Amino acid sequence: ETGVTQTPRHLVMGMTNKKSLKCEQHLGHNAMYWYKQSAKKPLELMFVYNFKEQTENNSVPSRFSPECPNSSHLFLHLHTLQPEDSALYLCASSQERELGTDTQYFGPGTRLTVL
């Protein structure tokens, strides 16, 4: 498989559930990102990892917990979410952690619905 993959593609969860989103990149990149995409709003950067180290946490609520065990894999652990957290969650990767200049490659996203 090539590029950036995300699983699951769709997820419905209750507010008391715990679930995880998974992202895997096959591009040999060193930086990985989580974004939240809500309808008609700009993409919101949530977290950045560079060489497995978290380098950015964009004031994200603690109910979202990222994990990056290696440069190829990124997880987003979810617990006690709110209905307003329903959105498309996109994973991306880039060669280096040059946030503003490197080309980022995106996965297809996980469509999350919180009931």
Partner 1 sequence: AQSVTQPDIHITVSEGASLELRCNYSYGATPYLFWYVQSPGQGLQLLLKYFSGDTLVQGIKGFEAEFKRSQSSFNLRKPSVHWSDAAEYFCAVGSNDYKLSFGAGTTVTVRA
| Binding residues for partner 1 (CB under 8 A) | 4, 6, 40-43, 45, 48, 56, 90, 92, 98-101, 103-109
Cα(61)–Cα(43) distance, integer angstroms: 17
**Rounded to the nearest whole angstrom, what is the least distance from the CB of residue 33 to partner 1 in the complex?**
9
Cα(67)–Cα(59) distance, integer angstroms: 16
**Rounded to the nearest whole angstrom, what is the least distance from the CB of residue 26 to partner 1 in the complex?**
14
CB neighbours of 98 closer than 8 A, spacing ≥ 6?
none
**Rounded to the nearest whole angstrom, what is the least distance from the CB of residue 56 to partner 1 in the complex?**
7
